[in-house]
Chains A and B, each alone.
Chain A
Amino acid sequence: MKAEAKVEVQEKIGGMAFYPGCSLDGLGKAYEKSAKAVIHDLGIQVENIKNYNCCGATEVKTVNYDLSVFLPARNLALAKNMGSGVVVAPCNGCVYSLSRANKAVTEDESTRQRINGYLGKAGVSSYDGSVEVKHLLEVIYQRAGPQAVRSHVKKPLSGLKVACYYGCLYTRPKVYTGAGLQEGKDNPEHPHYMDDLLEAAGATVVDFSAKTICCGGGHAVADREVSLGFSAAILNEATRAGADVVSTMCPLGHINIETNIPKIIEQYGDAIVRPVMYFTQLLGVAFGHSRKDVRLADNFSGADTAMHRLGF
């Protein structure tokens, strides 16, 4: 009873646990800085999960099932100990793996017992699958929304044509993420949260049919032919739709597309290439942060010079 009341209070003051994952501490630093700036501006409070570990992404589960549930479950148990009812993850892979662990421990009694046994040995309290997992984009949309974004815009992204790329595991599969089944989740086949937020920031969002196709990031290095082909397809479609930039929301997809660009230019020419940036970098610029604040120079795809050229 007491614990429940505590969770409710945390929810009310907006106390959510933030799970940065591995990327945001390394390659995706621009995503972390810009995301933190944007949610701070919008008055959304999050607290980092202390001592978090890698969630195992989609790789660990092909090696060992129990390990692929244990790693994310440890993070969720830590979040629960903080009194948080919600974990916010900025990465599609993390959202997938954390919500998959939730499902695994709630749907199967023997899995829960095994995992709790491991958690006990690792010195973490047991976990029952009760912490909700949300993507950063969903949280910004639900807690602030287009209205609040509009009121925070200092430098509208007028004239900027954006293709919003959501990627695979943001809403998929619904059996884990609850998209399309629960309140407060994006549409799994036609996600629109990023479109709405960037439109509110003044950008023109182009009709982009490659929104949810795969970028090949799961095999970014292991299967070059596939990841190169899909990355090229996404950029090509963004170009065809008339976009100036591609906006992303997953560090893996972002880095996969960006690091493929030199090879794409070599194979298909540079006419189909567009700079790639995190949606929080675009929102950050619209909220009046400088290009340096949102670390546009971090991007491998010439995002900084492109935004400068476009007058931002």
Chain B
Amino acid sequence: MPIHEKNLVDKDRLLVKEEAKLDGLDVSGQWSTFIEQRILGDYSTDVLDAVASTPAGKTIVNCWQCGTCTAGCCMHTDFGLREFNPRYFIYLAQKGAEDELKKYAPVIWRCVTCNKCVERCPKGVRVEEVVHSIEGYMRSKGWMGDTPASRWDEAFVKNTLQTGVLDELALTRSYVSREKLAEFNNRFMLRMALKLVRTGRIRTGPLRHRVKGWEKVRDVAKEILEGGGEG
């Protein structure tokens, strides 16, 4: 029979028959696909407990699995990455299907925080923050390592805490060279820098915004980071 959200089924459990005849009637095509049955019994309540206890993930308990978030999700629908399915991430976290959840480590970090899901959720689930909270849990368990996005975010925090104001050029330059992004080669960066110099946008000189007494604020920020903060 036709299978809804076929991408959620493991490929080796999809049984596709090239040719299917029932009582001499050709029923191949969509009708010749079957799913091999499986039984999952290995649930853990840890995931839901951990996610629901974070301020960012607390709304996970409201989810009733309608899928509105996923229908509008720009990664799922516009970009077409079907494996990126926030409804399913929440389902697996609620159920505690750890082994299933682990399979999504390669994609779960790709949420771009467009917040369409949070906007549209009829149950007030802050889906985007819940998904990031699930991702954080997965990382804390060692199910996934750092990702391009988490390395960017860490670098962002480090850069911001230096002076209190983000220097987006320095951040991009250091990130690009560390990640060896071929696209932002020396030629690209030089062209960009030239343009910025010509239009007076390199952040130097006395006119640049500075946060007075930032050292004191930075100490508090470092204390928050070291204490773990909440979430």
- A interface, CB within 8 angstroms of B: 20, 22-23, 25-27, 29, 51-54, 56-67, 70-71, 74, 96, 104, 108, 111, 114, 118, 121-123, 168-169, 171-175, 188, 213-214, 216-219, 221-224, 226-227, 229-230, 233, 259, 262-263, 295, 297-298, 300
Contacts and interface: CB of A to CB of B under 8 A. Distances in A.
20 contacts: A20-B209, A25-B208, A26-B203, A51-B213, A54-B165, A57-B166, A61-B129, A63-B153, A64-B228, A64-B231, A66-B224, A122-B217, A171-B119, A172-B115, A172-B116, A172-B118, A188-B119, A221-B176, A224-B181, A226-B112
Given A27-B201, A218-B113, A54 B160 contact: yes
A226 B114 contact: no
A26 B148 contact: no
Interface stretch (B27-35, B71-79, B97-105): B71-79
A63 B154 contact: yes
A64 B160 contact: no
A70 B220 contact: yes
Interface of B: 54-56, 74-75, 78-79, 110-116, 118-119, 124, 126, 128-129, 132, 135-136, 147-154, 156-157, 160, 164-169, 172, 175-176, 181, 183-184, 188, 192, 195-196, 199-201, 203, 208-209, 211-214, 216-217, 219-221, 223-225, 228-231
A227 B225 CA distance: 29
Given A56-B160, A222-B151, A226-B75, A65 B54 contact: yes
Given A67-B157, A226-B112, 12 more contacts: A25-B209, A52-B209, A59-B153, A62-B135, A65-B56, A65-B229, A71-B160, A122-B220, A175-B124, A217-B112, A224-B181, A298-B199
Closest 8 CB pairs of A and B: A66-B229, A65-B231, A173-B118, A214-B114, A53-B164, A22-B166, A218-B112, A59-B156
A60 B155 CA distance: 10
Contact of B119 (A58, A111, A172, A229): A172
Contacts of B157: 59-60, 63-64, 67
Nearest to A48: B209
Contacts of A96: 115
A98 to B, nearest CB: 15
Contacts of B154: 63
A22 B209 CA distance: 9
Contacts of A169: 113-115
A297 B201 CA distance: 12
Contacts of A295: 199
A172 B229 contact: no
Contacts of A216: 112
Nearest to B153: A59
A278 to B, nearest CB: 14
Contacts of A62: 132, 135-136, 149-150, 153
B79 A221 contact: no
Contact of B188 (A60, A67, A262): A262
A108 B59 CA distance: 13
A174 B119 contact: yes
A214 B78 contact: yes
Given A59-B156, A59-B157, A74-B217, A67 B119 contact: no
B230 A65 contact: yes
B74 A175 contact: no
A294 B79 CA distance: 35
B217 A53 contact: yes
Contact of A223 (B112, B219, B229, B230): B112
A185 to B, nearest CB: 13
Given A51-B211, A60-B156, A122-B216, A213 B74 contact: yes
